[in-house]
Amino acid sequence: MKESGIMRTGEKLRGEGWKKFVRRHGKMTALIVGWIAAACIAALLVFLWVVADAQATGLVPDGLGAWTVGSVFAFILQAILWELILVASWVIPTAVVMYLLWYKKLPAEERKEYEGGPKRSKSAGEDSGISFFIGLVWLAIVWLDGKWNLAFQDWTFDDWVYSWIWAGLVVLVIVGIPVIIWVVWSLRRNGGQQ
């Protein structure tokens, strides 16, 4: 019982530290958020390009019913290779430069505010239900697209990939907009209490 109280206190302090971080470094926070968004969009676009290219070059069959373990393995390796070349090649060096040139130069006391507190790790398989929610949205998208009674062997790989991406984007919008509103509201509400 005592341990959970300590953990809550540490989590509260860590949360307050990040609120201070956003208030003190608003422009850099916006830059980091934009950079992360650009990296995610680039990774998604590269993945979609690999999906289209894999079918066009015959690396994988169009229909899901004709896939083999070898085609799955070849596709995964192809996707990893292109993500490393086209996304990780600029994301990782940029993150290192940001860390070395900006974050590392912050005063040590200030960095301790952001890094301190006990960290709670999620247990394996714990995802707060977001995967289940994405699955439900995917089922709704399949139903709305008229593919509810279509056998998987008649689906194309594009159909399957795009339906999951749409489900993820819908959930991102449904969850993301309220989270952004809450963050902005809480920062403005606590803005005068420094």
How does pLDDT run across 147-168, given as a tens digit for each residue? 888 888 888 888 889 999 999 9
Whether the model pTM is above 0.75: no
How many Cβ atoms are within 10 Å of 137's Cβ, its own excluded? 19
Mean pLDDT of 133-145: 90
The 10s digit of each residue's pLDDT in 178-189 is 988 888 887 777
Contact 136, 158 (CB under 8 A): no
The 10s digit of each residue's pLDDT in 105-128 is 877 777 777 665 555 555 555 556
H or E segment to which residue 178 belongs: helix 157-190
**Tokens encoding 37:** 């968004």
SS (H, E, C) 140-151: HHHHHCCCCCCC
Of 56, 94, 93, 96, nearest to 75 by C-alpha is: 56
- Cα-only R_g, the chain: 22
pLDDT band for position 130 (cuts 50, 70, 90): confident
The 10s digit of each residue's pLDDT in 1-60 is 444 444 444 455 455 667 777 777 778 888 888 999 999 999 999 999 999 898 889 888
The 10s digit of each residue's pLDDT in 51-91 is 989 888 988 887 888 888 788 888 999 999 999 999 999 99
pLDDT of residue 105: 80
165 Cβ neighbours under 8 A, 6+ residues apart = 44, 48
pLDDT of residue 111: 73
